[in-house]
Structure 1
Amino acid sequence: MECNNCSVAELRFDIKLEGEANLSLMDKVVSHLERRDMEITRKENRLLMKERGAQEFLDFCLHLMEPAQVQFRLDKGEWQELSEMEQVFKTEWIDEVIRKELLVCHYQPIVTANEEIFAYEMLARFHNEDGSVIYPNEIFPAAKSRSRLYALDRVCRMAAVRHSAAIKDVKAFINFIPTSIYSPEFCLRSTINLANELGIDPRQLVFEVVETEKVDDIDHLRDILAFYKKKGFQYALDDVGEGYSTIEMLADLEPHYMKLDMQYVEGVAEDAEKQKTALRFLKKALEIGSVPLAEGIEMKEDFEWLKQQGYELFQGYYFGKPSKEPQGIATVPV
């Protein structure tokens, strides 16, 4: 059984009214919605309803109430201004994308210093039913607006595992958002089961923390990574740079791979400050037994400089853009 956050369950709106004028109209609001056969629950100055009721409420509120003194939230999320509610309705299309799994994975190579393919990062690409592309800068804001990031992360993770079955000779890096996982044992069960069903060796999969720099709950992240490790999988920290109370707590997380943020990679061969960050990162990775990986490489000069310093893995357009089919000639077996 899936939790509501990981499935595309019907949204529940929790609407909070403040101000004497708004509170005086609560009875009329409730009566209006009930006459239109819409479910509504009243709790003091709050109204709980489904999306269809919220759409009707918004129209009522804009015409007869004081919108500035009304807030709403979705499924016990953060409170938002009423002005954001229309965007929730406009992005309903994201539900269909997730429900019908309208996405495929593209493969971007990760190579060794000898430019042999060590792994592929599995990158989700979304589309409408007519085949037209939906870009990441559309999909993720829409998912966030409708409180669907959890469900989106799950469907992307499952698709990545399925696509990994095509590259059993090398590793697959699969992104995940730590905040989308409440309980590793519960939320990741379907991911583990799918890998087992497909006969994928756990050692092939590397689960990559998205936006490592922005992780606030380190204890929660540690629990997730410990669960992955227990099941035989490896994990990587993405976008690590000079910030991140990081570099100090990395040893505690014990990542198998550490990715140097591309902002410190582009032009590193000629930039003294970026070189300092890259060398500090490399030193810490080697100290804790983590494999250093530089991403975002587009120039040969940057690749050569990083290779000479001791970086072991590399990723970027210089080696190959994401593609529908795995590319490359020489590979390094898992």
Structure 2
Amino acid sequence: MADPVKPADYRSLGCDECACGQALGFDFSMAFQPIVDLQLREVVGYEALCRGVNGESAASVIARVDQSNLYRFDQTCRVKAIELAAKLNLKGYLSINFLPNAVYRPELCIRTTLAAARRHGFPVERIMFEITEVEQVGDSAHLRTIVDYYQRTGFITALDDFGAGYAGLNLLSSFHPDVVKLDRELISNIDQSEVKQIILRHLLAMCDELDILILAEGVEKREELEILLSMGVKRFQGYLFAKPGFECLPEVSWP
């Protein structure tokens, strides 16, 4: 996407305005997918994923987002995720995707999020922002400013889809996230690929040195899980455990 939105395009949106989609021009809802820790054998958090108001796919919602409403969409996602998480009495942390190019000045853009967290009694330290790697960020210094500010504010930060898009090691070197989420392409059929296993082994060693937690997403097969466990991965997300639950917290299937 293009440059971050300019100051005239954003303001601090009210929680009610965001929650009902009034500022955006269309409404949507959220589904939640569990994130599990197999060492602890418990659900440690949930990722909030946008859906249509009747459970339609995320793609059908994203198709209505462009540069003119990118900021409002990003803000509305945050408020809806927090509101629903509080309503569902979500335990652990709440993971929310954010689009770096929608954030111009983090200290201003975060106001609506903080207001929603206060309003619904959801602790800031249990909110994790996932930086989606598939969106190209032209200004790495701007991204570093965002991440630094979010971490100082108390949020957890994660680099999503690691290895899938524009970021890779260059983006990882630009800032220090708390969590790296491995892209599904690396996880898929890793039990059958020595090359993928070698790559993962080195990623694990690197993140261990950097004190970054690894989370494997897109785990669908028991064979994939067994290899990942044998290599030291502890946290997982994927259909093997649960599909996203529309406006609910789905029950986890423990392998």
Residues 5-20 of structure 1: pairs in structure 2 closer than 5 A: 5-6=9-10
The reply on whether 1:153 has 2:157 as its aligned counterpart is no
Counterpart residue type for residue 150 of structure 1: Y
- What residue in structure 2 maps to residue 209 of structure 1? 131
Show structure 2 runs of 5+ residues with no match: 1-6, 12-20
The reply on whether 1:111 has 2:33 as its aligned counterpart is no
Q: Sort the Cα spacing of 1:169 and 1:134 in 2 relative to 1 into closer, same or farther, 3 A.
A: closer
Residue 250 of structure 1 deviates from its aligned partner by: 2.2
Corresponding residue to 1:182 among 96, 104, 119: 104
Counterpart residue type for residue 149 of structure 1: L
Q: 2-side partners of 1:283 and 1:243: how far apart?
A: 22
TM-score by length of 1: 0.64
Residue 316 of structure 1 deviates from its aligned partner by: 0.5
* Matched residue SS, 1:182: coil
Corresponding residue to 2:52 among 101, 104, 126: 126
TM-score by length of 2: 0.83
The alignment yields a C-alpha RMSD, in angstroms, of 2.6
Q: Residue deviations 1:298-333, cap 9 Å, x none?
A: 001101111110112100101100003113379xxx
Corresponding residue to 1:283 among 189, 205, 211: 205
Q: Residue deviations 1:171-220, cap 9 Å, x none?
A: 11111000000110111111112112222222211011112573332111
Calculate percent identity across the aligned residue pairs.
31
* Matched residue SS, 1:269: helix
Is the contact between residue 243 and residue 250 of structure 2 (CA under 8 Å) also seen in structure 1?
no
Q: Sort the Cα spacing of 1:217 and 1:264 in 2 relative to 1 into closer, same or farther, 3 A.
A: same
Q: Residue deviations 1:95-146, cap 9 Å, x none?
A: x78646622211101111244211100111123xxx5x543333323322x6
Higher RCO (Cα < 8 Å, 6 or more apart):
2
Counterpart residue type for residue 325 of structure 1: C
The reply on whether 1:328 has 2:251 as its aligned counterpart is yes
Q: Sort the Cα spacing of 1:177 and 1:307 in 2 relative to 1 into closer, same or farther, 3 A.
A: same
Q: Sort the Cα spacing of 1:211 and 1:294 in 2 relative to 1 into closer, same or farther, 3 A.
A: same
Number of residue equivalences: 236
Is the contact between residue 242 and residue 277 of structure 1 (CA under 8 Å) also seen in structure 2?
no
Counterpart residue type for residue 230 of structure 1: R
Q: 2-side partners of 1:242 and 1:100: how far apart?
A: 31
Q: Sort the Cα spacing of 1:169 and 1:161 in 2 relative to 1 into closer, same or farther, 3 A.
A: same
Corresponding residue to 2:192 among 270, 275, 291: 270
Q: Residue deviations 1:213-263, cap 9 Å, x none?
A: 733321111111111111111110001128766325525511110001100
Is the contact between residue 164 and residue 185 of structure 2 (CA under 8 Å) also seen in structure 1?
no
Show structure 1 runs of 5+ residues with no match: 8-95
Corresponding residue to 1:195 among 107, 117, 130: 117
- What residue in structure 1 maps to residue 60 of structure 2? 138
Residue 276 of structure 1 deviates from its aligned partner by: 2.2
* Matched residue SS, 1:143: coil
Q: 2-side partners of 1:135 and 1:328: how far apart?
A: 20
Q: 2-side partners of 1:140 and 1:168: how far apart?
A: 25
Residue 280 of structure 1 deviates from its aligned partner by: 2.3
Is the contact between residue 174 and residue 205 of structure 1 (CA under 8 Å) also seen in structure 2?
yes
Q: 2-side partners of 1:213 and 1:152: how far apart?
A: 15
Is the contact between residue 117 and residue 328 of structure 1 (CA under 8 Å) also seen in structure 2?
no
Q: 1-side partners of 2:158 and 2:167: how far apart?
A: 17
Higher Rg of the two aligned structures: 1
